[in-house]
Structure 1
Amino acid sequence: MKITIRKLTSIEDMHLVLQLENIVWMESTPIHQTFTAAKNGGILVGAFTTNEDESEGKLVGFCYGFAGFKEGQAYLCSHMMGIHPDYRSSGIGRRLKEEQRQIAKDIGYDLIIWTFDPLESRNSYLNTSKLFGISDTYIVNCYGEMNDGLNNGLPTDRLQIEWWIRSERVEEQWRPSLSFENPFSVSLSSKGNPMLMGSKDELPFGNSGIEVPIPTDFQNIKKSEPELAYEWRMKIREIYQAIFTEGYTLTGVRKADGPVQFAQFIPRKLIPLKRIERGANQ
């Protein structure tokens, strides 16, 4: 399967985004909004299949961001990414983000931000271990009550990712060399879902990093045991907030076979976020 990634700029492109949004989210952003953003510092990129004659096929993924500004810092707010259900788990999300990053650098951005659910381990892994973003901002019930298939029934807690696209962390794909301590254990419910054992009081702040288990498949927990999903939400909220208060930052996810993955945190002061200046030909 050949996928082509390109910038989306035309009204026709915006119509394609709207159609895909309705498939992925069952709702859509008005075309006048996406089109205006694209003309004023925003960035939309799309993933297209390729026909047998090498012509562009259908839109199967998109990433939409608009210009933001806060406390003297201009940035790109990457508001939404959607992949057609038939094309997920094929690396399209990472390719969209990398294209977004390159266009953002060309425009002059240093920073891209977006939010994601801290209990979605696949997103955590992509955003930190693959794209080298970081997060130390926990937003409680960010979007209020949402009735779509992914968020129904739970507070919409989110982490805010900072993607410093010109930093050593991103440009050189810097990873911490610390050892990590995990003070938590995991047991299984009667339905085979993971249950987190322990509390924030057991967090080992010191010279090492910290690992926290998060579900491998949070969506399955939401469907099969809603009460357990809510318990995960409340426990992770409390633990992450305590970690961030101590100056630690999420920098990666250690993948593992089994019902949980492991979110990894280190002190923010150790992360190289200074802008790397490149020559004109680099």
Structure 2
Amino acid sequence: MDGYAELSACCALYRRVLKLRPLDGSINPRLLTAVQRNGGYVVGAFVGRELVGFAYSFLGCDRTAAGPARPYQYSELAVVADELQSQGIGRQLKHAQRERCLAAGIDRMRWAFDPFKTRNAHFNLDVLGGDVIALVPAMYGPQGFGSDSADESDRFIVEWPVTRPVPPRRPLGPAACWRLGRCVADGDDLLIAVPARWDRQRVEIGPTAARELRRELRTTFTSALESGRIAVSCQRVDADIAVYRFAPRPAPLAPESD
């Protein structure tokens, strides 16, 4: 992405797709310019000369008590025009970010997403091959923003090892076995059923029940992660229910000896 006009188009697309209200806050071309000039990436998708999608990321690192900090790119936003979603543009943007990571010698990316956005979850985990490694309650405060302003802003943190092939995913059982909030064991894995269409579900059950369901599942997700598991898949079993698979976290590779 180059120049004020293209970066301004990114900001306008972001406001439009997320349906931001005046007080929700946004991004601006100055921020995106600073990102590009200081270790981050801004990538765009165009139809002709019209911007229809973009993503931006910046350099992050793990702060650990022992050993050197490991860098990663943190992808703060990936936005695609409403009328062109589910047409592969998001995948192209992610792979454009991946190519830039590989060129810079960076082997992983991270980003955050709402656990109840199951289409995003399936893309992040099953299509790209990422893993949910953490849950941050109320990451952006007690309320969401834009079209999700009625929800709390809990977020999963996904890590994408950009050099790893997408691992195979295990199939789920029949849809008749599932009800919302159910958590069952499948060998060493845990399977957790969530609404497949949260935008519709929260309207049908009302704000109080929706808030209670989110908090109930927040507790279930937290327990699964604290048990040493990571989420590796999210698959829809019918029009109403999707199921997360939490698998044991792989053991870290032992350092090579001389």
CA contact (8 A) 2:193 2:242 kept: yes
1:63 to 55, 58, 66: 55
Shift of 1:160: 0.2
For 1:1-282, what aligned pairs fall within 5 Å after superposition?
8-25=1-18, 26=20, 27-50=25-48, 57-71=49-63, 72-146=69-143, 148-167=145-164, 172-175=165-168, 185-186=178-179, 196-198=180-182, 204=185, 207-224=187-204, 225-269=206-250
SS at structure 1 position matched to 2:250: helix
How many angstroms apart in 2 are the aligned matches of 1:62 and 1:83? 7
How many angstroms apart in 2 are the aligned matches of 1:178 and 1:243? 19
SS at structure 1 position matched to 2:42: strand
Relative to structure 1, is the Cα distance of residues 256 and 78 closer, same or farther in structure 2, using a 3 angstrom cutoff? same
Sequence identity (%): 25
CA RMSD between the two structures: 2.6
Relative to structure 1, is the Cα distance of residues 273 and 256 closer, same or farther in structure 2, using a 3 angstrom cutoff? farther
Shift of 1:48: 0.7
SS at structure 2 position matched to 1:265: strand
Shift of 1:125: 0.1
How many angstroms apart in 1 are the aligned matches of 2:59 and 2:192? 33
CA contact (8 A) 1:144 1:155 kept: yes
SS at structure 2 position matched to 1:242: helix
Q: Which shifted more, 24-33 or 14-23?
A: 24-33
CA contact (8 A) 1:145 1:152 kept: no
Shift of 1:179: 8.2
In structure 1, stretches of 5+ residues that fail to align are: 1-7, 51-56, 187-195, 275-282
CA contact (8 A) 1:221 1:228 kept: no
How many angstroms apart in 1 are the aligned matches of 2:253 and 2:126? 16
What TM-score, normalized by structure 1, do the two folds share? 0.78
CA contact (8 A) 2:132 2:157 kept: yes
Shift of 1:253: 1.6
Q: Which shifted more, 8-17 or 236-245?
A: 8-17
Shift of 1:207: 3.9
Shift of 1:222: 2.5
Shift of 1:69: 2.3
SS at structure 2 position matched to 1:132: coil
Q: Aligned residue pairs: how many? A: 242
Relative to structure 1, is the Cα distance of residues 147 and 209 closer, same or farther in structure 2, using a 3 angstrom cutoff? closer
User: 2:198 corresponds to which letter in structure 1?
Assistant: F
Relative to structure 1, is the Cα distance of residues 106 and 75 closer, same or farther in structure 2, using a 3 angstrom cutoff? same
> After TM superposition, what 4+ stretches of structure 1 lie above 6 angstroms from structure 2?
none
What TM-score, normalized by structure 2, do the two folds share? 0.85
How many angstroms apart in 1 are the aligned matches of 2:15 and 2:172? 44
Shift of 1:59: 0.5
How many angstroms apart in 2 are the aligned matches of 1:249 and 1:126? 16
In structure 2, stretches of 5+ residues that fail to align are: 64-68
Relative to structure 1, is the Cα distance of residues 143 and 197 closer, same or farther in structure 2, using a 3 angstrom cutoff? closer
